Structure 1
Amino acid sequence: MRRVDLGWMRVFVEVGRAGSLSEAAARLNITQPAVSYQIRRAEGEFGVALLLRKARGVDLTAEGRALYDILARAVTQVDALAEELRPQPRRKALRLFTDYAFSSLWLMPRLHLFRAAHPELELQIVALQHAGVRAEGEMAVVFANRAELGAEAVQIMPEAVVPVCAPALRAGLPAGVLPDAPLIHLDAEPGAVWFDWPSYLRALTLARDPHAERGDLRFNTYALVIEAALAGQGVALGWRGLVDRLLARDQLVEAGPELSSPERGYFLVATGPRDAAAEALWSWLRAEAGLSSG
């Protein structure tokens, strides 16, 4: 049994799909005479006409249709397998270091916007208790005093806190009055640069029954602090920018006066020159923070 030479197979399938020798030639990026030659080879292999030539385009004969139905599936499957097996070029990978609070409460709700704007980039978020850049060319969003950072650091969120709690804890109280409820603390190392409950109460000269502290809660990550507040377990300090979305949805409500420290907050920092990919992330973070490009 003589085996059929299949070198013309893709050309025949493309002619069947296009219904035109010239269109098939354009799709395959070859000349029309080359397409005609391959069709003649196919018809010679089978000894029957596979195409009906018309004034404009071609139709498949019954024999051509039977052959096309087999080969079209095969060509499609081969192309899909080749796509699966070929090594894919790695997308440019970016790393952004930040802390748990910023990554979960500010970045995650917006991350789909960056991915939609830059599908060609692969972004790795590295959340740490104390974030900072680790290598040349990397980028971080850090909470710090302005004086601790270089001139290139860009403040994207000044520190401003307001007590927040579940709506049920705040019901019936006058505006600005701190509910008589457990305080939810974020544990931090001595000398932390952000507001905590003791510094907040001192700054606003708000008195509190010392015995009330027996029912307070303490967590080592801010995400857990907010989860506890959402669950109605007490009152937490809410950082503007991090809890705004929850306040807008009335999942949390303000439960006391605001306190701010403009020289502190979240800053965007980087080391070394930024390539095009890093510049795209830098500009996007600035824009999402409401800053002009730069």
Structure 2
Amino acid sequence: MKTDILGDKNSQPLKRRLPPLGALRCFEAAARLESFTQAGAALHLTHGAISRAVRALEDDLGCTLFERRQQRVFLTPAGAELLHSVTQALDLLDSGAQRLREAGRNAPLVLSCEPTLLMRWLIPRLPAFQAAHPEVSIQLLAGGGPFSFNAGIDLAIRRNDFAWSRDTQAHWLFDEAVGPVCRPDKQAEWAPQIKGQVQLAAQAPRLHSATRAQAWEQWLQLQQWPMTPAPQEQVFEHFYFSLQAAVAGLGLAIAPWQLVRDDLASGLLCAPFDFVADGSAYYLLSPKAIDEHSAAGRLLNWIRAAASLKP
């Protein structure tokens, strides 16, 4: 009994007795061009290779497919019938392949991005990218640290605070610059200006993030200031929460400029000490080199341009 189960020894697909597929390709070209020589040129084969392929096909089918007259060949009735079937099959294959190519071109780019950067920087700017590149569809995933391209991720935006695979292609986006931020109405109390210099008040509450636990220590080292404890300190599970706490007026938080630039521009936050480069940077990571004309290339160039613009 025949079945439709793939892999079953009695399945219909495995019982098919198809003619040699390479020979069918040679036959179709020769029939269309009415010449073995021209068919060979079209397929980058010799006249003899086309002739042998057609002969093998005729032997397999048990009938003559061409009448050979001097330098040209003409289809026999059997050849005409086969050409009709082959043309239909090739048209079907071409149509299916075209649909798959279109689906591949229209498939969204799956972009993994660190959550805080995603929420506070990328998503607010994404409408501008979509307006500039409506043909590029992006599916966003929130994620930080190590990841695998085998998990369905096409691209990832990460800070270089961990080691990635040797095969990973890293494309620089922007350097990190950090500094304390707070609500403007708290600046005079927590970051007063004394003799023309902004000072960090001893009573200023400091906001920390578990995901950047050393942020305050690193910033104080960059400023060459001593690491002294604050009377009030709060630790938040995620970096995003510590920045929102600063907006709420709960204290000073160490923030990267890119992540708070919109809040600075709108007046929600201020940066009493400005920002200083901390030596790290953000990169767009890809499994292979990026063609600047591809969807990934357009995204890369847009991110770089957007990161360089002043708010």
Provide closer, same or farther for how the CA distance between residues 100 and 146 of structure 1 changes in structure 2, counting only shifts above 3 A.
Answer: closer
Q: CA separation in 2, counterparts of 1:195 and 1:158?
A: 18
> 1:287 and 2:305 equivalent?
yes
Provide closer, same or farther for how the CA distance between residues 244 and 93 of structure 1 changes in structure 2, counting only shifts above 3 A.
Answer: same
Number of corresponding residues: 196
| Map of 2:244 onto structure 1 | 227
Q: CA separation in 1, counterparts of 2:248 and 2:256?
A: 18
| Map of 2:287 onto structure 1 | 271
| Map of 2:80 onto structure 1 | none
Report SS of the residue matched to 2:217: helix
Q: Matches of residues 196-275 of structure 1 in structure 2 within 5 Å?
A: 196-207=215-226, 210=229, 212-213=230-231, 215-256=232-273, 258-262=275-279, 264-274=280-290
Deviation at 1:166, TM superposition (A): 0.5
Unaligned stretches of 5+ residues in structure 2: 1-101
Provide closer, same or farther for how the CA distance between residues 270 and 181 of structure 1 changes in structure 2, counting only shifts above 3 A.
Answer: same
Cα displacement string for residues 37-87 of structure 1 (whole angstroms, at most 9, x for unaligned residues): xxxxxxxxxxxxxxxxxxxxxxxxxxxxxxxxxxxxxxxxxxxxxxxxxxx
Q: CA separation in 2, counterparts of 1:149 and 1:166?
A: 40
Q: How many percent identity over aligned positions? A: 29
Residue type at the aligned position of 2:277 = S
Q: TM-score, normalised by structure 1?
A: 0.58
Deviation at 1:266, TM superposition (A): 0.8
Deviation at 1:138, TM superposition (A): 1.4
Q: Is the 8 A contact 2:222 2:278 kept in 1?
A: no
Task: Give the aligned CA root-mean-square deviation in angstroms.
Answer: 3.0
| Map of 1:129 onto structure 2 | 144
Provide closer, same or farther for how the CA distance between residues 278 and 148 of structure 1 changes in structure 2, counting only shifts above 3 A.
Answer: closer
| Map of 1:138 onto structure 2 | 154
| Map of 2:186 onto structure 1 | 169
Q: CA separation in 2, counterparts of 1:146 and 1:186?
A: 18
Q: Matches of residues 1-294 of structure 1 in structure 2 within 5 Å?
A: 91-130=106-145, 132=147, 134-135=149-150, 138-144=154-160, 152-171=169-188, 173-174=192-193, 176-179=198-201, 180-188=203-211, 196-207=215-226, 210=229, 212-213=230-231, 215-256=232-273, 258-262=275-279, 264-274=280-290, 276-290=294-308
Deviation at 1:163, TM superposition (A): 0.6
Deviation at 1:159, TM superposition (A): 1.8
Q: CA separation in 1, counterparts of 2:214 and 2:281?
A: 10
Q: Is the 8 A contact 2:257 2:275 kept in 1?
A: no
Provide closer, same or farther for how the CA distance between residues 241 and 159 of structure 1 changes in structure 2, counting only shifts above 3 A.
Answer: same
Q: CA separation in 2, counterparts of 1:107 and 1:131?
A: 20
Q: TM-score, normalised by structure 2?
A: 0.55
Deviation at 1:203, TM superposition (A): 3.6
Deviation at 1:176, TM superposition (A): 2.8
Cα displacement string for residues 1-42 of structure 1 (whole angstroms, at most 9, x for unaligned residues): xxxxxxxxxxxxxxxxxxxxxxxxxxxxxxxxxxxxxxxxxx
Residue type at the aligned position of 2:206 = L
Please list every run of at least 4 consecutive aligned residues from structure 1 whose deviation after the TM superposition is greater than 3 angstroms.
145-152, 207-210
